[in-house]
């Protein structure tokens, strides 16, 4: 799987990491932060692994498939948590997570 | 500045990152999460830059001084926020942050 | 500096990290790897700090200015090294590094 | 799996990341860099995933098992490559990688 071939997955990972980091920031500013605690936690996990995989793919890591498999699970867990909350940042984040999970699975 | 000479700073960075990550986790489990929002945010920033610098030093980065200077500022900001809170994890984190800031400054 | 306002810098950081990671991979496959040793080293440093800052900006880090200042220096060092080599991946990487350094300076 | 229980794995991850980063630096300074190209590549992958997992464990990530499973594979691949080379940094790195892979497997 070459750098060039991975462009679609790299794009989804990038969008997912950005959405998760934005959601992390927005959750910390919400009125009821306690309700968002699990979202905050998973936003960080998901942003970090997506960012990690994005850059590992760009350097042609030999472990793309194994990392994409873990990343898909983390994206799904984060998407499922975000989906529970009505905030626009959570709904957008859930959407980015599920799209990224699909892209990861196609590589895993 | 060689890998060997940096062992003391590497140790402080490692302890600070661990304390910040532990504090991040513990803050998210507190009764009043809203009060901890800034602590949660800074714990993440501080853990991430300390971890970054720790491993950059281990690979003999040419940018040790510049990175240590930024790291010192982030450690101080996190320590100042943590110090405000009575939770044991916050007090321990503040202590680790201030010690790491000192170690960073001696290199910066 | 909000998440929205940073889109231009985030884009440059993303392009620079991708170029550096691609150059890292390509340098390791060159016939004369020894000549590329410093390029390989700086590609890693530059990719990692750009990726770090990109995602720190996405989560609205309070340390955007300090981190951008360090990042500008690392991008310039990597760009100066890459510029010495005629390989297309090095020339493209140098270009991305210099553009990113400029974007970083406008924020620092 | 709590932060406290993971101390042994965290220690192995830390030692492995440090050994890989040191080996990365040392390989780039070897006379025959071309022979070390795959070692340089895998040192980076292994250092980065070990550092990632170390800090994810410190913040009590819900994905410890999945991440440890990937990390074990990357550590083994890096250890197998390093073992081929007689340099002391490579032999030490191989040793740290295999110990870390074992610790990862006990959690995965």
Ramachandran assignment for C32, one of left (phi > 0), alpha (psi -120 to 50 degrees), beta (any other): beta
Residue B26's nearest CA partner among B35, B17, B34, B36 is: B36
Write down the pLDDT at residue C5: 57
pLDDT in tens, B50-74: 999 999 999 999 999 999 999 999 9
Average pLDDT, chain A: 94
**Architecture, CATH, for domain C7-107:** Up-down Bundle (1.20)
Neighbours of chain C (3+ CB pairs under 8 A): A, B, D
Q: pLDDT below 70 — which residues of chain C?
A: 1-5
Burial category of A1 from C-beta neighbours within 10 Å (exposed 0-12, middle 13-18, buried 19 and up): middle
Write down the pLDDT at residue B2: 52
CA dihedral in degrees (C3, C8, C13, C19; nearest 10)?
150
A6 interface with C at CB cutoff 8 Å: no
Cβ neighbours around B99 below 10 Å, total: 17
Partners of D58 on chain B (C-beta within 8 Å) are: 17-18, 21-22, 25, 47
Q: DSSP string spanning B46-93? A: HHHHHHHHHHHHHTT-TTHHHHHHHHHHHHHHHHHHHHT--SHHHHHH
The answer as to CATH 1.20.1270.360 being correct for domain B7-105 is yes
Average pLDDT, chain C: 94
Is the Cβ pair A67, D62 closer than 8 Å? no
ipTM for this model: 0.92
B95 interface with C at CB cutoff 8 Å: no
Write down the pLDDT at residue B1: 45
Place of tokens 């910390």: A28
HSE of B61 in the Cβ direction (CA atoms, 13 Å)?
Answer: 29
As a residue count, chain C comes to 108
Cβ neighbours around C95 below 10 Å, total: 16
Q: What is the mean pLDDT of residues D92-98?
A: 98
pLDDT in tens, B6-55: 889 999 999 999 999 999 999 999 999 999 999 999 999 999 999 999 99
- The Cα C57–Cα A24 span in angstroms is 12
Cβ neighbours around B64 below 10 Å, total: 18
* Among the partner residues A21, A51, A58, nearest to C22 by beta-carbon distance: A58
- The Cα A1–Cα D96 span in angstroms is 29
Which pLDDT band holds residue D1 (cuts at 50, 70, 90)?
Answer: very low
- The Cα D49–Cα C29 span in angstroms is 22
pLDDT in tens, D21-38: 999 999 999 999 999 999
CA dihedral over C91, C93, C97, C103, signed as positive or negative? positive
CA distance D17 to chain B (A): 7
* Among the partner residues B25, B29, B40, nearest to A28 by beta-carbon distance: B40
- The Cα A82–Cα A97 span in angstroms is 9
Structural domain spans, chain A = 7-105
């Amino acid at each position: 799987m070459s750098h060039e071939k991975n462009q679609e997955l790299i794009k989804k990972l990038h969008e997912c990491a950005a959405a998760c980091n934005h959601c992390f920031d927005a959750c910390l500013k919400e009125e009821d932060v306690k309700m968002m605690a699990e979202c905050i936690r998973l936003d960080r996990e998901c942003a970090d692994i997506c960012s990690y995989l994005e850059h590992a793919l760009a350097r042609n890591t030999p472990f793309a498939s194994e990392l994409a498999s873990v990343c898909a699970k983390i994206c799904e867990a984060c998407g499922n948590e975000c989906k529970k909350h009505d905030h626009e940042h959570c709904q957008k984040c859930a959407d980015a997570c599920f799209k990224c999970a699909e892209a990861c699975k196609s590589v895993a």
